[in-house]
Structure 1
Amino acid sequence: MNNLTTDKLIRYIKILLIIYISFFGLLVMYSNFTDYASNYEYVGHVLSMDTTRNNPRLSYRAITSPMLHHRIYWLIITLEVTFTTYCLIGAYHLYRQINGSAEEFHEAKKFSLIGLMIGIFVYYVCLQVIGVEWFNMDTSQVWNAKDWARHIVDFLLPLLIFVALRTEH
């Protein structure tokens, strides 16, 4: 422990937090691939707006085509795989530079930061903005991922800031 400086500890913490969010991404990927039908059903109900408040002024927004449901779901899966892959690669690059200079460690953050931004796109833009604001997902009693997505963004955004901060000396 005598060789563990605060600077080195912060580097380890940044790596571990990226590994944690990568583990989350791996579990989401596993769920999407092993339980495609249930997750597809979720996406289909949100896009169809069939469980939201029946508002004729908003129903034109619904996407009822099963083919489009599959394509949109695969787009979401692809983004989640990309987010997870970038974070895993980012953790590897950070770990490789654990003993590097401050500049080398800072430059090793690129993949992690890209991965985190993709994650924020998926869970904030896709679910919270488009899902809630466009498809009224928050009015569904059954197919509502607003709070789930918010909790993820509540972890991703501070993590993005923490990792991006140049605290290394």
Structure 2
Amino acid sequence: MKIFNVQPITVNEYIFNEEHVAESLNGNSYESGFGFECIIVDSVKTMIVTFEILISVGGIEWTDTIIPTDDPNKWSVQVNGMETDDGEILMSYKSSCQINLENEGFDADVLSLTDFLSKYNTHTQTFFNLYGFKSAQMERESLSRQALEENAIIAIENLRGNNMYEF
């Protein structure tokens, strides 16, 4: 895929609520992902790529149940968490970038988009290394080459769904 007229990645939102850090040590909810919006602008295929991370705390009600066994000296405890609301935002990050593209064939397109998403991911990691909060979960969730390739295929499917992909 020929990717051109790449606009700079823009951080649209960064919220960090330091007052929730201690609470996050007891558990948090982590969500992240790319989004792809495909449009045609002046007869050129355009993709708006977004990336979001949301880490929230609270909003989970924990219950424990003691489960007896045949042995009076042993028991099990089952702990369940149920989401009760969205919780409080510990950290929210939203960014976007606009690119133009020309399809060249499925395999080449997957490779090109994967490389682009890898650079996007590096930009995000650099932002957090320089300016942001970084949790252990974010370290674990760093996108692998395989995850980036899966996102590239999702982007191509989005193009297909908008009748913008002929391969």
Q: TM-score, normalised by structure 1?
A: 0.25
Structure whose alpha-carbon radius of gyration is higher:
2
Structure richer in helix, relative to its length: 1
Q: TM-score, normalised by structure 2?
A: 0.26
